[in-house]
């Protein structure tokens, strides 16, 4: 891990962020269809261009000219409520380390930096959806399972 450089992604990093987003999606979904790949290739450059460094902060580990690990913090502002007094929360996305770099504590360090950043920006909470592989890392860092009185639901508009 000593040869890695840790930091926050900038606009010049967008091609690498897209490459790793595809690697993450392939690892998570198993495969991506050609139409899904094409839709993502069309959407991702503009998304990163508009959001990176604003409400999307991407923590990275770099080996030479390659980004080898990421952890996204999406900052979301909602109307304030008793559990969200300033309306600010974060959502963790795309925690991913290339296979050859796994098991070295890279994701742990990225998440520690992400948490510190969120605290400095006065976010009230950070949410995430844990994969089986990431569950114990998140628990170790203090994340807890949510027990809510509300049921998570979704309406897929593309299926209508």
pLDDT digits (tens, 9 = 90+) for 39-82: 999 999 999 999 999 999 999 999 998 999 999 999 999 999 99
Q: Which two tokens stand for residue 130?
A: 């844990």
pLDDT digits (tens, 9 = 90+) for 95-148: 999 999 999 999 999 999 999 999 999 999 999 999 999 999 999 999 999 888
Contact between residue 48 and residue 56 where contact means Cβ atoms under 8 Å apart = yes
Q: What is the pLDDT at residue 149? A: 84
Read off the pTM: 0.93
Nearby residues of 61 by Cβ (< 8 Å), 6 or more positions away: 4, 5, 6, 67, 68, 69, 70, 97, 101, 106, 109, 110
Question: What is the dotted CATH code of the domain comprising 5-146?
Answer: 3.40.630.30
Going from N- to C-terminal start, the domains of the chain cover: 5-146
Burial of 91 (0-12, 13-18, 19+ CB in 10 A): middle
Residue 130 CA to residue 143 CA, distance in Å, equals 10
C-beta neighbour count of 7 within 10 angstroms:
13
Residue 34 has pLDDT above 90, yes or no: yes
Residue whose pair of structure tokens reads 């080996």 in the numeric block: 63
Residue 117 CA to residue 112 CA, distance in Å, equals 9
């Amino acid at each position: 891990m000593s040869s890695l450089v840790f930091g926050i992604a900038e606009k010049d990093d967008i091609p690498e962020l897209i490459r790793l987003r595809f690697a993450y999606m392939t690892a998570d979904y198993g495969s991506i269809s050609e139409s899904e790949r094409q839709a993502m290739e069309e959407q991702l450059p503009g998304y990163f261009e508009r959001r990176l460094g604003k409400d999307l902060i991407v923590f990275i580990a770099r080996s030479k000219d390659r980004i080898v690990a990421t952890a996204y913090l999406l900052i979301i502002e909602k109307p304030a409520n008793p559990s969200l007094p300033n309306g600010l929360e974060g959502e963790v996305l795309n925690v991913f380390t290339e296979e050859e770099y796994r098991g070295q504590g890279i994701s742990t360090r990225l998440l520690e930096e992400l948490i510190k950043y969120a605290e400095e920006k006065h976010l009230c909470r950070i949410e995430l959806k844990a994969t089986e592989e990431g569950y114990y890392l998140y628990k170790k860092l203090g994340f807890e399972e949510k027990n809510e009185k509300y049921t998570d639901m979704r309406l897929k508009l593309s299926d209508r």
